[in-house]
Amino acid sequence: MRHYSIFNILKKLECRKYYSTIESIERAVGKHAANTFISSMDKNSKFIDVPTICVHDPANVDVWKWEVGLNCRPKLSIDELTKMGKSLEDPFNLVEKDICTLSGGIKELLGSDHPVLEACAKYFFDIDGGKKIRPTMVLAVSYALNASLTNNSSLNLFALPSQKRLAEISEMIHTASLFHDDVIDKATTRRGVPSVNQIFGNKLAILGGDFLLSRASISLARLRNVEVVELLSTVIEHLVKGEVMQMKPSTIGNSAMEYYLRKNFYKTASLMGHSCLAASVLGGHNEETQRATYLYGTYVGQAFQLIDDALDFEGSTATIGKAPLADLKSGLATAPTIFAALEYPIIEKLINRKFEYEGDVEHALELVQKSNGLKLCKELAQVHAEKAIEAISTLSPSLAKDSLVALACKVVTRSS
Ligand code: FPP
Ligand code: MG
């Protein structure tokens, strides 16, 4: 019998594009072989040789609605949130014993026989800076969920080894995205030190980010949990999508806000939400708990990005560790500007031309400061923090649960 393979067939088809596919296969391998081939393919054709054009988001994604905060006002004042954040268990103290080994643990995953690649990938972990909010969340969520598994309060502050590894993976993915982001944004400073592209150059910053991402992927696969692999792989797609959405100009008015909040979900909230969800999947918790932790992480993520965007107007290099006004200068309209445009429609014109004309950045800044834009942006962040707290209200009471409430408060009351 004549030997044929998909490669042979495709090779022959390359020079016979004018026939229908079936005709071409017949001409390439003969009618009988073609029939056998096609009938065997039909059964599985949706699984093989079909390019993937759509990967549906994991089921839990649809529980987050972008518009959820817009029709609400915060229930608590900012002073009350600050007080609550200070009165409850501090999340960073609570997870300290696991966080202090995090950078070291990540560095162990980044060994390479190429010293420059290794140094580049380890750059931020050698400095051991940054807020480490993602691993802190993963660990505190893990502690809170694991607390319900034991009644002994002295034993209940623990994360499983897989959850600790997840905390590292989450931080590695985040750091990889910052390597790439700083190249795209031409940033010179990050976390109060020169950015990785500044030290190693753009090419190594991109490749170092890829290396970090690949080691994160290997570590993820070694968790041997397919659902968690799917969740975190989806996050990587979301990070890319968020960044591309940010590059594409948005329209103005309500749809500008919708576009902005969706972009924030992909860029920031998805990693936090899915990391919390993955922690609860690894702990073997039920769907209701998984949903609660996913929502918690997603709302905190959205609040975090809103405050980040407010701090871009109000902070300084000393407080935020990066140059302020970076958004306007790179042509981006974030929540303070989008809200300000409702009061000062002239801003729409500046948004549309990406603040490119001389004096546009200063003009937009002046109008944002005169408007309620920053106030509304922070209130929207507060609403999201309150939603995050509400989402975990069903978890059993514990010190770790308190620390999650405190974390949601701290995210919106932070100044750095
Ligand atoms: C910071 O945004 C950037 C992100 C949160 C995500 C960046 C994602 C990519 C570059 C896609 C590639 C992803 C991977 C995983 C390699 P920002 O510029 O608003 O914040 P900043 O002021 O801190 O720079
Ligand atoms: Mg940036």
Same domain assignment for residues 30 and 84: no
Structure tokens at 198: 């500044």
Contact 317, 324 (CB under 8 A): yes
Distances (CA, A) of 53 to 21, 50, 56, 285: 21, 9, 10, 32
Q: List the single range of 192-206, 267-281, 308-322 with lowest mean pLDDT.
A: 308-322
Question: Is residue 33 domain-shared with residue 96, that is, in the same domain?
Answer: no
137 or 36: which carries more pLDDT confidence? 137
Confidence (pLDDT) at 34: 57
Residue of 173, 177, 247, 270 to test ligand 1 pocket, by largest number of atoms within 8 Å of CB: 177
Average pLDDT over residues 220-225: 96
Examine the domain organization and report whether 161 and 26 are in the same domain.
Answer: no
Q: Are residues 106 and 39 in the same domain?
A: no
SS3 of 194, please? strand
Instruction: Choose the residue to mutate in 178, 181, 236, 263 for probing ligand 1, maximizing ligand atoms within 8 Å of C-beta.
Output: 181
CA of 63 to the centre of ligand 1 (A): 24
Beta strands in 218-364 (DSSP E): none
- The residue ranking higher by pLDDT, 78 or 250, is 78
Reported as a pLDDT band with limits 50, 70 and 90, residue 148 is: confident
Domain co-membership, 18 together with 114: no
Cβ contacts of 343 within 8 Å, gap of 6 or more: 367, 371, 372, 373
Q: 110-128: string of b/e by CB count within 10 Å (b at 16+)?
A: beeeeeebbbbbbbbbeee
Instruction: Give pLDDT tens digits for 256-266.
Output: 888 899 899 99
Please indicate, yes or no, whether residues 25 and 90 belong to a single structural domain of this protein. no
In a domain, 63, yes or no: no
For the segment 72-100, what is each residue's pLDDT rounded down to a tens digit? 889 999 999 999 999 999 999 999 999 99
Strand-pair partners of 194? 189
Atom of ligand 1 nearest to the CA of 174: 15
Residues 18 and 128 in one domain: no
With respect to residue 121, please indicate whether it lies within any of the assigned structural domains.
yes
Average pLDDT over the chain, rounded to an integer: 85
Residue from 380, 397, 361 nearest 264 by CA: 380
pLDDT band at 166 (very low <50, low <70, confident <90, very high): very high
pLDDT at 319: 80
Phi/psi-derived region of residue 325, left when phi > 0, alpha when psi is between -120 and 50, beta in every other case: left
Q: 8 and 110 share a domain?
A: no
Residue among 124, 178, 260 to mutate when testing ligand 1 (max atoms within 8 A of CB): 178
Q: What is the pTM of this model?
A: 0.84
Report CA(329)–ligand 1 centroid distance (Å): 16
Evaluate whether residue 244 is within a structural domain: yes
Quick one: average pLDDT of 113-128? 93
Same domain? For 35 and 93 the reply is no
Residue 352 located in a structural domain: yes
Half-sphere exposure of 253 (CA within 13 A, CB side): 2
Give domain status of residue 245, yes or no. yes
Domain that holds residue 25: 3-45
Least confident stretch, 17-26, 155-164, 290-299, 315-324 = 17-26
Burial class of residue 202 (count of CB atoms within 10 Å of its CB; 0-12, 13-18, 19+): middle
pLDDT at 341 over 60: yes
Q: Which two tokens stand for residue 302?
A: 């959205």
Alpha helices in 45-114 (DSSP H): 78-87, 91-94, 96-99, 102-109
Are 38 and 25 in contact by the 8 Å Cβ rule? The answer is yes
Q: Whose CA is nearest to atom 14 of ligand 1?
A: 177
Q: Which atom of ligand 1 is nearest to the CA of 209?
A: 16
Torsion angle of the four alpha carbons 248, 252, 255, 257, in this order, in degrees rounded to the nearest 10: 90
| 6 alpha carbon – ligand 1 mean position (Å) | 40
Ligand nearest to the CA of 133: 1
Q: Tell me if 311 is assigned to some domain.
A: yes
CB 392 within 8 A of CB 296: yes
Which residues lie below 8 Å from residue 416, measured CB to CB, with a gap of 6+?
311, 315, 319, 320, 321
Number of structural domains the chain divides into: 2
> Which of 159, 363, 104, 400 shows the shortest CA–CA distance to 278?
159
Residues 141 and 18 in one domain: no
Residue 295 sits in a domain of what CATH number?
1.10.600.10
Per-residue pLDDT at 51 exceeds 50: no
- Closest to 182 measured CA to CA, from 123, 107, 138, 96: 123
Closest to 384 (Cα-Cα) out of 401, 409, 406: 409
Task: Judge if 273 and 317 occupy the same domain.
Answer: yes
Q: How far apart are CA 372 and CA 337, in angstroms?
A: 10
Query: Which of residues 260 and 45 earns the better pLDDT score?
Result: 260
Nearest-CA residue for ligand 1 atom 2 is 181
What is the percentage of the chain residues whose pLDDT exceeds 70?
82
Q: Report yes or no on 61 lying in a domain.
A: no
**Could you report the per-residue pLDDT of 360-398, keeping only the tens digit for each?**
999 999 999 999 999 999 999 999 999 999 999 999 999
My answer on whether 197 and 271 are in the same domain is yes
What is the 289 CA–ligand 1 centroid distance (Å)? 29
Please check whether residue 119 is in contact with residue 254, taking contact to mean a CB–CB distance below 8 angstroms: no
Asked whether residue 246 carries a pLDDT value surpassing 70, the answer given is: yes
Is residue 173 included in any domain, yes or no?
A: yes
Report residues whose beta carbon is within 6 angstroms of any ligand 1 atom: 173, 176-177, 180-181, 184-185, 187, 209, 213, 236, 239-240, 243, 267-268, 322, 326
